[in-house]
A and B are shown apart, each in its own frame.
Chain A
Amino acid sequence: MATKYILAGTSQHKIWKYGTWGLFILLVILVAFAYVDTGFIEIGGNKYNISMIRLSKAVAFAVAILGLQCVVGFTGQVALGQSFFVGSGAYLTAWLVADHQWPYLLTLVVVIPACFLIGMILGLPALRIKGLYLALVTLGMAAVFPSIVKLDSLSDKTGGSGGKSTAESKLEAPDWAASIFDGIAGALQQIPFFGQYFGEGDLSSREADRMWKFLIFSIVAAICFWLVNNLVKSRPGRAMRAIRDNETGAAVSGVDLAMTKTLAFGVSSALGGVAGTLYVMEVGIASPDDFTQLLAINLIVGLVVGGVGTLSGAVVGGLVVVLIPDWAASTESAAFVPQRWLQGPTGGFLLGLMLIILTFVLPGGIVAGFRKLRARFVQVVPRPPDGSVPAAFAAATAGATTAGEAMLSSESDDELVHSGPSDGGSTDE
């Protein structure tokens, strides 16, 4: 199939951009309604449960990984301690909800500024400590978090080693939302042939609650992604990327290193805090063993596997980090693998393996692979500043069909679109 070229800024480009987004949202809605009643799929004799709970968790982790993108992906600081901030957000939420009867979403008003501040303060050492040393210190911080919340002096607020439960205040779908959900479910059930996959009749109240939670999560996450997208394209965002690409060069060009770095750390940990809030909303408890060094490393896995320095990579990363361990845990029999092996921490094994293999094969993560694949079919050609039509685009659309010319033009397009291996243009999705 011949590559299709789209000129940036044209209505065709808009249709393409919003069309792909629309398709994505449609897909999410379909998956949500198809699996809201914890539907099972069966592969090779194993039952897999793609429940909403997992999808909601994946959304929470995606926001945490989005925070990592700001610091590691865009600013290039090797900070590994994201679990610290996710934990802080989770505990703040749990404390406010359980002890002060705040509604869940209102806690964000406290969580975001608090985590932003903690992140800025803990990011201060990063002005002096660089590279591997920073990795070491932040990993140490992540390791310390569980022992901080287990402290005796804090245990009346954090619940000690048992964790802080918020199960008493449930998040229930309001009636109007439930009836909308029922309406959508009913409509989906009317589709010929496929209707059977969307259950029967109205949603039960538990299903409506799950759907409601997932909806809230998605909206919060979408706002986070939208804000970060704007940040990255703005002046501070460009400063962040300049620091990543060449710190000295950025400083010489007038980037305020201290300001930009602490800002990046603050934003990153604020997002970590939001992720923590979402996490507590889903699981109903903040417990110290959920926010260990292993979570910090898992979030890094999500970052790298999804794609460092891309926003869509955070979504992919969240899904990978949540679904792969669950998938491994619910696989009970597989060909050529002794059963004993499947009962252990196979998920961690797979994540580690993925991390290493992807670093070799696809350093840009899954998103880069997907983009490479997409570029074979559709390429967006940026319009030069003077408004003329680029030569390559003209040649391609005029039907330059000889093999040599087609190759030439597609190569020059590549250069136009991907101005570097990890360019900021990657955020335009």
Chain B
Amino acid sequence: MDLFLQRLFDGLANGSAYALIAVALVLIFKATTLINFAQGELAMLGAFISLQLWYWGVPMWGAVVLAMLITAVLAAGVERTLIRPFDPKDHLPLVIITLGLFLLINALAGIIWRFDPRQYPELFPSGNALNIGSRGLSWYAVFTIGLTVLVIFLLTVLLNKSKVGLAFRSVSSNLESSELVGIKVGSTLQFGWALAAAVGTLGACVYVSNPLLSLEPSVMLRVLIFASSAAALGGLDSIWGALVGGLAIGFVQSLLVQYLDFIPTEMSLAAAVVVLLIILLFKPAGLFGTASVERV
């Protein structure tokens, strides 16, 4: 029972970190129907930038916010120069561009910061918020979930109540019509990329501030798979779905893989891929997504 609680808590903490990256994927998918394969690497770069700023003496949370701003500007630039010239309906060039970015950013981080793992400062108070027997719910888990819910809430408000959000939703539902009614599609998509990069960076910072993990250029390789499974599970165009999907993937990783004996521990990544595969095969719109209708 003790162990069960511990795993539940672990799943909660990891799952909400995945949810943050999943939200970033969802934001870009909503706007452009593109999956950004470089999203995890961009977030990793953001985490490194925040660490570098912290080395230079910026207070930790200030460094995170600054890094979010920097990656947002970077992503806006990427959208403008590398993504916009291509036809959004032709997937192959866009997949190739984001894969190129993946390699580029991954190598760049390795060149600048090297490959040795670095301890990332804790963003949240250490210790446990709640102790049950010998097991405890860490403050890290509590704050991560709180932060994730807050971010998703703020995004929902932004998308539903503001003018920018209206434009964003309009573009994501019908690109051509939005253009006809005078919405600046380009800058709206750019806004989506910037927002996604900022959220992704926050997610990466929170993820690596887990005392059990450290920051290195390859830290996001696995997380991208977890996060995209989470996003697909929740429905690729639903922000709240990303939260549910993230938590579900977190629980699959920490509970299912631990308790079902025939799944070895190292297979948590495989479990996530299998979840992704099953969802795409049987419920391609995910749990909360809107099914798309193809018209000729």
User: Looking at chain A, what size class is its interface with the partner chain?
Assistant: 35 or more
Contact of A135 among B91, B101, B267 (CB under 8 A): B91
Q: Say yes or no: is B264 at the interface (Cβ < 8 Å to chain A).
A: yes
Contact of A352 among B95, B104, B222 (CB under 8 A): B104
Contact with A along B260-278 (1 / 0, CB 8 A): 0000101101101100110
Q: Say yes or no: is B65 at the interface (Cβ < 8 Å to chain A).
A: no
Q: Say yes or no: is A100 at the interface (Cβ < 8 Å to chain B).
A: no
Q: Say yes or no: is A38 at the interface (Cβ < 8 Å to chain B).
A: no
List chain A residues, Cβ under 8 A from B270: 144, 147-148
Q: Across the interface, do B99 and A140 meet the contact criterion of CB distance under 8 Å?
A: no
Q: Say yes or no: is A355 at the interface (Cβ < 8 Å to chain B).
A: yes
Q: How far is the CA of A423 from the CA of B254 in the complex (A)?
A: 50
List chain B residues, Cβ under 8 A from A152: 264
List chain B residues, Cβ under 8 A from A348: 103-104, 106-107, 110
Q: Say yes or no: is B182 at the interface (Cβ < 8 Å to chain A).
A: no
Q: Say yes or no: is A406 at the interface (Cβ < 8 Å to chain B).
A: no
Task: Report which residue of A137, A308, A340 has the largest number of chain B beta carbons within 10 angstroms of its beta carbon.
Answer: A137
Contact of B34 among A125, A132, A354 (CB under 8 A): A132
Q: Say yes or no: is A226 at the interface (Cβ < 8 Å to chain B).
A: no
Q: Across the interface, do A136 and B276 meet the contact criterion of CB distance under 8 Å?
A: yes
How many whole Å from A289's CB to the nearest CB in chain B? 11
Q: Say yes or no: is B229 at the interface (Cβ < 8 Å to chain A).
A: yes
List chain B residues, Cβ under 8 A from A355: 96-97, 99-100, 103
Q: Across the interface, do B101 and A144 meet the contact criterion of CB distance under 8 Å?
A: no
Q: Say yes or no: is A363 at the interface (Cβ < 8 Å to chain B).
A: yes
Q: Across the interface, do B108 and A349 meet the contact criterion of CB distance under 8 Å?
A: yes
Q: Say yes or no: is A359 at the interface (Cβ < 8 Å to chain B).
A: yes
List chain A residues, Cβ under 8 A from B112: 344
| Complex: chain B residue closest to A148, CB-CB | B270
Contact with A along B192-224 (1 / 0, CB 8 A): 000000000000000000000000000001100
List chain B residues, Cβ under 8 A from A349: 103-104, 107-108, 111
Known: A129-B280, A135-B35. A359 touches B273 (CB 8 A): no
Q: How far is the CA of A340 from the CA of B108 in the complex (A)?
A: 12
Q: Say yes or no: is B102 at the interface (Cβ < 8 Å to chain A).
A: yes
Contact with A along B2-23 (1 / 0, CB 8 A): 0000000000000000000000
Q: Across the interface, do A297 and B35 meet the contact criterion of CB distance under 8 Å?
A: no
8 shortest interchain CB distances as A-B pairs: A352-B103, A352-B104, A344-B111, A355-B100, A348-B107, A349-B107, A140-B273, A356-B100
Measuring CB to CB, which residues of chain A are less than 8 angstroms from any residue of chain B?
72, 76, 78, 80, 125, 128-129, 131-133, 135-137, 139-141, 143-144, 147-148, 150-153, 248, 292-294, 297-298, 300-301, 304, 308, 340-341, 344-349, 351-356, 359-360, 363
A-B contact pairs, 30 of them (CB 8 A): A76-B92, A78-B92, A125-B277, A125-B280, A131-B91, A132-B33, A132-B34, A132-B35, A137-B276, A139-B225, A140-B228, A140-B229, A143-B225, A143-B269, A144-B269, A147-B267, A148-B267, A148-B270, A153-B264, A297-B99, A297-B103, A300-B96, A300-B99, A345-B106, A346-B107, A347-B107, A352-B105, A353-B104, A356-B100, A359-B93
